[in-house]
Structures are given as C-alpha cells and as structure tokens.
Structure 1
Amino acid sequence: MTRTSARRPDMPRTRIKICGLTREADVDAAVAAGADALGFVLWPGSDRAIDPGRLAHLAARVPAFVTRVGLFVDQEPAFIERCAPWLDLIQFHGDETPEQCRHAPRSWIKALRMRDDVDLPAAAAAYKDARALLLDAYKPGVPGGTGEVFDWSRIPASLAKPVILAGGLDPSNVGEAVRAVRPFAVDVSGGVERSRGVKDPAKLHAFIHQVTLTQTP
C-alpha cells in the first residue's frame, strides 16, 4: 500500500479538503477545525447533494482564505455557470473531457478514478490546464464517495500536476497516507461523518490533527 518517500524540510504542508458539506453546523465545524477547502456536491445523484440556493446560503458562511469547491459530474455548463458565483474552484468528477473542463467559469481540478488501466502521466498531460488531479478509488457505476482505499503505490513519485488524495481516508489512515504519498492535499467526506451527510466534529478534529502530525520533521 505504501511507497518510500523521504521527508524534506522544505516540503510544503499537505492541505485538507472536507467534502460533502450540507449543514451550517458542519461548515462551521470544518472551518474551526482548520480545513483549507470545503467541498459542496452539486450533482443530484449523490445523497450529499445540495441545490444552488443551498450552496449560496452555505458558501456565505465560509470566511476568507478558505476555498469553496463545487463538485459536478458530467453536468450542463449552464448549471455550472449558475453555481459559479459562490465557488472559488470547480471539481469535475465525471467523464468530462479536457476541452469541456477548459470552459469552466472558475479554475478547476479533475478527479480521476483509479481504474486498473489509468495512465496518470498521460492524464496529467491531457488535463494540463487543471490546477491539480484528485485521485479517488474506482468502483463501477459510482463517481465518488465509495469509502474505499486504492493502492497508493500506483501513484508515481512525481507527476506534472499536484495530487489531491481521496478514497477511504479517515483519522485512522490519513497519517499513513500523507507519509506514503506526500500529496499536495487530502480529501475526505464519509471518513469524518457520524451518519451519511452529517459530519462529526470530533472526527474532523482527529483527521486534521493526524495530517498536522505528519508535517513535523
């Protein structure tokens, strides 16, 4: 599962994105715990989905310097445009082509599900305009939120794009994940929940604490 990666004193810290936020209390708790980014699911096929009106309400609670990320799955450009005023970053989590992503109204990242045949260097070249690649576990028919971990050793030690690591992370394994992969960021949703779509403040703090511990040489 792990790969060898030396800890350099000058290595930037790993950022933290809490995804699937649906409630005011969870937005506040994630910010208080020290999250760098908050993810809002705008794809109606998810049981953590919110609509544009709810997005506007929740996004207004997010303070400066915390990034608001909107997750979309093969959705119409007009809908993404409608949501864009309350977002800082777009997350394309479906089968969007590089050309489709380039027309995003905000800077964007591309999620890749780690199928057996995925070629990460080729994907990094194809999605060269992405701000980062988010790597998630692959489960047929499920765009994301599988709660499953993939083999981190499949990630090359160096990619042309920053890596956001997702897939089955929780307070018990995120420290190991950061030490193994040294990603630019980690992304969690179900791993910090008490029930589907409801975050647990204690798990949020534990998750962020475990990431913070890895930053100490």
Structure 2
Amino acid sequence: MRSQGRRWRACWRLVGRRCSIEAGVTRIKVCGITRREDAVAAVAAGIDALGWVFYPRSSRYVAPDHAALLASHLPPFLTRVGLFVNAPVAEILATVARGFLECVQLHGDETAQECLQLRQALREARLSITLVKAVRVAAAADLPDPALWPVDALLLDAKVRGHYGGSGHCFDWSVLDKEWRGMAGSAGKPFILAGGLTPDNVAEAIGRVQPYAVDLSSGVESAPGVKDAQAMLRLVQQVRQADLGSRSLGFR
C-alpha cells in the first residue's frame, strides 16, 4: 500500500511539473518547517512543497523522526522535501527508506560525481526519489553547467560565507540570462530560485527570470524556524499575480 501511494505521488509530481511548465504556474516551496501549525498554515495558503532541514548546525534543524511525524499529518499531492548538507550516502538512504519524502535536496558542497553516486545508490536500493542540487551563486562564474549535473533540478541560492542557505540574502538575478536559462531548458533541468526571496520581491524575481519554482525560508518567518501564516498567504498571492503578468507578456 505504501509503495502504491508513493507511485501515485511520483506520478502527480510529473504531471504537476509538466503542467507548471506549460501553463506558466510557478511552484512554491517553503523550507525549514519545524512546527505542525506552520505546516498546516502552509498547506492552507496553497504552498506546493514543504522542506525539512536535516542539517544539525542549522537553526531550523529537525530530526527525521519529527519530520516523519509532521509529514504524517499532511494531505496527499504535497511534495515533501528533505534537505541534507554533506551527509553520508547511508544517512540519506536510511531517511528516504522511511517513505515520507518525495524529494532530496543536497544543499552542501556535493560534487556532480557524488550526486551520481547517490543516484546509483538510490537505484540499487530501489528507492525512487526526485533529486535536487543547490548551487550557491554570487556571480555568473558560479553558475553550473546544467548538462553536467546528474540531478532532476538545480536550485540557485545566494553565496554567503558561513551559510549553506537561509541567509536572507539575494544574489544578482541578472546573471541568469537567457543563454543560461536556455542551457538549463535544453538539458531538461528546471531551476529553482532561492536566496533572500520574500513576498515583497518574489514577483519581480519571477518576472525577470521565470524560474520553475521559488524556495523561501527566512522570507516567510517571524523567527528562525517559526513561519508567518500571513506572509505565506501573501507569498502565494504575489506568485500567482506574477504568473498572470508573465503570461500576459508572453514569457510563458
């Protein structure tokens, strides 16, 4: 029964991804969920994906046991994401095998070769999971070659010394020019925009670079690990308005 449910969710993700690209609907992820009430508020607001941080040095860290409990209260067709930072493959496999995640986000210094090794290990363990690699960007030279990364999507975050994410800082979106976005599209690698996004600037970001998805953490918080329900509502409203604007201008 569990494997059947996971196949359903996997199919839904593929359908959702296709519809998002064709219909111009930007998907929305909120990361750093630590409390049940925040997860419930995110679902009510219309958030598409929730993320749990499995990095012990983060102020938003949760243990897999707690994340699994939170996930058990969520509705179907919501993508559940586990964020890992330089974690051993065995740790990732053990967490994925528990069955409450649909996506793994690698947010550390993992190389393309290490991503490939993880993908192979997941395949050998017969674990089906979406794999996302975060890349920290400060300038155009930091942008990855999408064709070289054996992952399903790339997440672009701000490069801030001492932070693996959740810094509240933006990077210069102008580096995501049409050429790089075209390379990502040709490689079949949707890109997710992160880094300093808030309900106040997310519409501008979408209008400028048309990401597949946006990923927020501190931008919808009242304190680290404590989400603001009203901010999440505003976020969804701003993203949907931006999507309408992009379609009217012919960007999507």
Q: Same fold (TM over 0.5)?
A: yes
CA contact (8 A) 1:42 1:72 kept: yes
Tell me how far 1:196 sits from its aligned partner. 1.3
1:39-67: CA deviations, max 9, x gaps? Answer: 11001110000011101101112211110
After superposition, the CA RMSD in angstroms is 1.5
Aligned with 1:89 (options 89, 103, 118): 103
CA contact (8 A) 2:206 2:243 kept: no
Matched ranges for 1:1-217 at <5 A = 11-84=23-96, 85-102=99-116, 103-104=118-119, 105=122, 106-116=129-139, 117-120=141-144, 122=145, 124-127=146-149, 129-157=150-178, 158=182, 159=184, 160=187, 161-216=189-244, 217=248
Please, what TM-score do these two structures have when normalized by structure 2?
0.78
- Range moving further from structure 2, 143-152 or 9-18: 9-18
Answer 1 or 2: higher relative contact order, Cα 8 Å, separation at least 6. Answer: 1
Matched residue type, 2:66: R
- The runs of 5 or more residues in structure 2 that have no matched partner are 1-20, 123-128
SS at match of 2:135: strand
Moved over 3 A (4+): none
Tell me how far 1:131 sits from its aligned partner. 1.3
Q: Percent identity?
A: 45
SS at match of 1:215: helix
CA contact (8 A) 1:112 1:134 kept: yes
Tell me how far 1:83 sits from its aligned partner. 1.4
- The runs of 5 or more residues in structure 1 that have no matched partner are 1-8
More helix as a share of residues:
2
- Equivalent residue number for residue 7 of structure 2: none
Alpha carbons of 1:10 and 1:73: their partners in 2 closer, same or farther (altered >3 Å)?
A: closer
1:80-107: CA deviations, max 9, x gaps? Answer: 1221122100000011122322324322
Q: Distance in 2 between matches of 1:90 and 1:214?
A: 27
